[in-house]
Amino acid sequence: MGRALTITDVDDLAVGAWIIGTGGGGSPHLNHLNVRQVMSGGRTFEMIDPTELEDDARVAVVSTMGAPLVMQERLQDSRDVARAVEIMADHIGAPFDAVMATEIGGSNAFQPLMAAAHLDIPVVDADAMGRAYPEAQMTSFAIAGLQPWPLSLVDPRGIEAVISHVPTWKWMERASRVLTVETGSMAATCKAPRTGAEVKRWSVANSMSLAIGLGATVRRARAEHADPVEAVADAAGGRRLFGGKVTDVERRTTGGFLRGMAVVEGLDGWSGQRLELDFQNEWLVARLDGQPIATVPHLICLLDAESGTAIGTETARYGQRASLLAIPAPDLFRSEAGLRYVGPRAMGYDLDPVDPLS
C-alpha cells in the first residue's frame, strides 16, 4: 500500500529536493505551487515503494528540460507533463501503471506529481539520479546500460515529438536538447519507459521520501531551535565538512552551463581554512586548502548555516553563512561504470573521486 502525500509532505519536498539538488536542479518554487494548487482543488497523491511494482509494470519517467528563466516566465502547466506521458503511452501502445522522476534534486522532483495530477496513477518513491546532475544522460538507467529510447517531448503549442530511436544515451541528450532549444528552451519530456523490474533493480529507491524527510528535518530543527545542518547530516547519513562565510563567487557561462567557483572562508572550528567549490550548474568538487575533500558523484550540498535551506550555485553570494554537507552517493554511481558517467573525470577533472566519509 502506498502512502498518501499531505500538503506538509509536498512543502517538505520543496525544501529537501532543493538540498539534494546540490546547488542546481532549479528552484522547486513554481512546481511546488503547481502541486499545492491541484491539492487545494482536492487532488490527492499516492506514493508507492518501488518494491510494490510488479516486474512487468510500466513506469513513466518524467522531467522538464530547459532554462530556469524560461520556466519562470512560461509557468509550466502541469497538464503538459501529463501530456508527455500520454504521448508515450500512445507510442508504446499501452498505459502506464506509475510515474517517477528522472531527477529528485531541484524542481524536477515535482514532475511526477504534476503528471499524476491528471493521470490516475501513483508516484514511485524513486528517481534515476538521487540528486541533480548537469546532463540528462547522467542517470542510473544509463549507467546500467538500459535502453535509452524512446523519448516524448511536449511544447504546449501543439508541438509534440517522439524520438523513437538513438544509438546512445548521449545522443538522446543531444537530440532532445536541440528540440528543447528550438521550442524556446523549455519542454516537458517523458524518458524511455521502464519496467517494474528495471525500476526495482536500477533506480535510486526511496529518494522522494528521503527528500521529504530532509525537508521535515529542517522544519522540525527550526521549530526546536536546533542546528538544522547537523540534523540534515544525521538524517541523510552525511557529514558536515566545513562551516564558514561565502567570500567570493565567480560565474561564467560556457556551452549552456553555468560554471565557476565559490570560496568559503572558515569560521569557528574551521577558522583560518579556505574552502573552494567548483560548479557546473551543480557543486562538483570541494577543496579544503587545496585538497579535495568531496567530489562528484557524492552529494555536495551548501546549506545556509542558520536556516538549513540550500544555497544554489546561482544564488550564492558574499556574506552568506554556509555549511558544507556531503552525502555519499549510491553505490551504482561509485562503480566503475557509474564514474564513467558522473565521476570527476566525466566532468572534466583529472581527479579520483573523493568519498566525503572516508
Partner 1 sequence: MTRRIGIDVGGTNTDAAVIDAGAVVATAKTPTTEDVLTGISDALAAVPHHDVDTVVIGTTHFTNAVVQRQDLNRVGFVRLCLPSGRSLPPLVGWPTDLADAVRGRTAMITGGVEYDGRPFEQLDEAAVIEAARRFGDAGIDAVVVAGSFSPVDPTQEERAAELVCEHLPGARVTLSHRLGRLGLLERENAAGLNACLLDLADTTIDAFSSALDDAGLDEGTRLFLTQNDGTLLTVDEARRHPVLTFASGPTNSMRGAALLAGVEDGLVVDVGGTTADFGALVGGYPRQANAAVDVGEVRTLFQLPDLLSVGLGGGSRIRVELGGNVTIGPDSVGQRLLTEALCFGGSVPTLTDAAVKAGRLVIDGAVSPDALGVDPGAVLAVAAELVAEGADRLKLTAAEAPLVAVGGGAFAVPDRLPGISDVLRPPHADTANAVGAALAEVSGEVDRVFHELGREAAVAAALELAVQRAVAAGAVTETVRPIEVEDLPLAYLAGDARRVRVRVVGSLAHR
By CB under 8 A, name the binding residues for partner 1. Answer: 30, 33-34, 36-38, 66-70, 72-80, 114, 156-158, 181, 184-185, 245, 247-248, 251-253, 256-258, 265, 281, 314-315, 317-321
Nearer to partner 1, 78 or 323 (CB): 78
Nearer to partner 1, 30 or 146 (CB): 30
In whole angstroms, the minimum distance from the beta carbon of 92 to partner 1 comes to 25
Nearer to partner 1, 148 or 260 (CB): 260
Nearer to partner 1, 1 or 75 (CB): 75
Please, are residues 188 and 74 in contact by the beta-carbon 8 Å criterion? no
Nearer to partner 1, 200 or 259 (CB): 259
In whole angstroms, the minimum distance from the beta carbon of 91 to partner 1 comes to 22
Q: Where are the beta strands (DSSP E) in the chain?
A: 3-5, 45-48, 58-66, 98-101, 123-124, 126-127, 151-155, 159-163, 186-190, 194-195, 204-205, 239-254, 257-266, 274-280, 282-288, 291-295, 299-304, 321-327
255: left (phi over 0), alpha (psi -120 to 50) or beta: left
In whole angstroms, the minimum distance from the beta carbon of 244 to partner 1 comes to 12
> Cis omega before residue 150 (within 30°)?
yes
Please, are residues 328 and 356 in contact by the beta-carbon 8 Å criterion? yes
All three cell numbers of 336? 566503475
In whole angstroms, the minimum distance from the beta carbon of 283 to partner 1 comes to 15
In whole angstroms, the minimum distance from the beta carbon of 195 to partner 1 comes to 30
Place of cell 531551535: 225
